[in-house]
Amino acid sequence: MGADMLIASLAIRKGKTARQTRRNIKTQLAAADRRINAARSVDELGHYREYYLPEHASSGPSMADIKKILLDDLAEVRSALLGYHREAELIDGGPGIHILVSGGLSWGDDPCRLYTAINRLQTAAVIKDARYA
């Protein structure tokens, strides 16, 4: 049994200048923060229930707990997009796009925290990928 290479990515719109790109990133992160805080039930969070909550559990995490997890994930992505993050690289994704990539080798678990954060935020439909927006 060997390891698998797992990659998560998130595309962000480039601005005409670095300042505009940072503004675009901050705008997208603020919108994701609002979506998380506005959610009143897990059913408003895309496929979160399907992928992250146990099927037959009589009680799962509270909505407040889920929001905390997602807000922590958003902070992880914010650090990667606006600062330095050792588990990430921001690469050119073609005309008008930057792509945040993260991942690594997996032996049955997620390869790194940022990989998990990107996937969970996209599964919950709170952060928009510019390639599909």
* b/e 20-33 (16+ beta carbons within 10 angstroms → b): ebeebbeebbeebb
Residue 49 in this model has a pLDDT that exceeds 90: no
- pLDDT at residue 55 is higher than 80: no
Domain ranges of the chain: 4-123
Q: Are 99 and 93 in contact (CB under 8 A)?
A: yes
pLDDT tens digits for range 72-109 = 999 999 999 998 888 898 899 989 999 999 998 888 88
**pLDDT > 70? residue 56:** no
pTM across the whole model: 0.89
Residue 78: partners with Cβ closer than 8 Å, 6 or more residues away:
29
Check pLDDT > 80 for residue 30.
yes
Instruction: Please report, rounded to a whole number, the percentage of residues in the chain having pLDDT higher than 90.
Output: 57
Average pLDDT, the chain: 89
Rounded average pLDDT over 9-38: 94
H or E, element range at 90? strand 88-92
The whole-number pLDDT of residue 1 equals 56
In the sheet with 88-92, reading across from the earlier edge strand, the strands are 4-13, 97-106, 88-92
